[in-house]
Amino acid sequence: MELLRQKILNEGILPGTDVLKIDSFLNHQIDVSLINECAKAWYSLFKDENITKVMTVEASGIGLACMTAQYFNVPVLFAKKTRSTNISDEYYSAKVVSFTHGQTYRIIASKKYIKENDKILIIDDFLSNGSALKALIALAKAAGADVVGAGIAIEKAFMDGGNDVRRMGYRVESLAKISSIKANGEISFG
Amino acid sequence: MELLRQKILNEGILPGTDVLKIDSFLNHQIDVSLINECAKAWYSLFKDENITKVMTVEASGIGLACMTAQYFNVPVLFAKKTRSTNISDEYYSAKVVSFTHGQTYRIIASKKYIKENDKILIIDDFLSNGSALKALIALAKAAGADVVGAGIAIEKAFMDGGNDVRRMGYRVESLAKISSIKANGEISFG
């Protein structure tokens, strides 16, 4: 999506570095008209799939997920992050190894809100090593639900996450695919 | 708002208890058409106030804030929670004592995204002791911004938070005000 690529080029890089920062428009401040355009793009890609629920993980996926769910007219379910390994029987849980922070945590979702007949669209802001996305898929699969695919705002396509998940047989639709970031901050899209 | 009160009556109470649970429609699963109605209600209450930014705190305020910001056509800024007391100079920070979890944490917001000429509407799902709301006000005031008011989905009006903040001179618009919850789970609205 051209609008998102432009936003990344204009605001996404810390000058003189290769650090990608999306906190001016996605994960601290949120450009709501931009995420609405992302939502419309995913709706157009997945509108024939009879989606019954949009899943994401707190926190920065929630805005994108809600805007997207508006078009499908379905609820959102956001998985919660926890450091606890003591998960009650009421929840499905899966482990995430965060690429950004190098930390391990679990995400959980109540068994009440994912059902076998659900057709789930996963939405998230960022895809790097794919750990969060694989964990969301694991929660949905634990309930026997069908994961129709994933809508990602920004994929670091020079990392393995996206292609891992595609090789697992899932449809992953990333609106901006970054193929490289040079040491001077120059970004290429693929 | 009648729709929200009905939702609380139908889904908000754990049978036989006085525990208010909003995870089927606000803070785990999100009923997106319901939060869209909340957003419209706040827009109608604050539409003449020249709002420039909607502020909230992660995680469950984000969906409400994004839906609301759509109508005002302004960005959202969501404050982040941190356990660290070691806050960098780039951030404003304020302490929150959570009523639900009895924990203390800090919320932070980048100085880049709140400016002196901002007119801020704060949005959140829940108001109990008011600690999160007061902390959000503190972040905005630290930047010299004008806090126009707060839109709250559910206020526990039998607690002090809402009236504390009103006494501080802020407009607080709660869409469902719970005046009492009996031990058997019977809810009254005020």
Region B23-32: mean pLDDT is: 97
In this predicted structure, what is the pLDDT of residue A185? 85
pLDDT per residue over B64-81, tens digit each?
999 999 999 999 999 999
pTM: 0.96
Q: Which residues of A are less than 8 Å from B32 in CB distance?
A: 66, 69-70, 73-76
Neighbours of B185 (CB within 10 A): 16
Cα–Cα nearest to A63, from B58, B44, B91: B58
Q: Do residues B61 and B124 lie in contact, with contact meaning Cβ atoms separated by under 8 Å?
A: yes
Predicted local distance difference test score (pLDDT) of residue A87: 85
pLDDT for B102: 77
* Mean pLDDT across B50-74: 98
φ, ψ for residue A141, nearest 5 deg: -65, -35
Contact B149, B142 (CB under 8 A): no
Q: What's the complex ipTM?
A: 0.96
CA-to-CA separations, A32 to A38, A174, B131, in angstroms, rounded: 10, 18, 27
> Tens digits of per-residue pLDDT, B137-166?
999 999 999 999 999 999 999 999 999 999
- pLDDT at res. B174: 98
> Which residues of chain A does B62 touch, with a Cβ-Cβ cutoff of 8 Å?
30, 59-60, 62-63, 66
Nearest CB to A75: which of B30, B66, B69?
B30
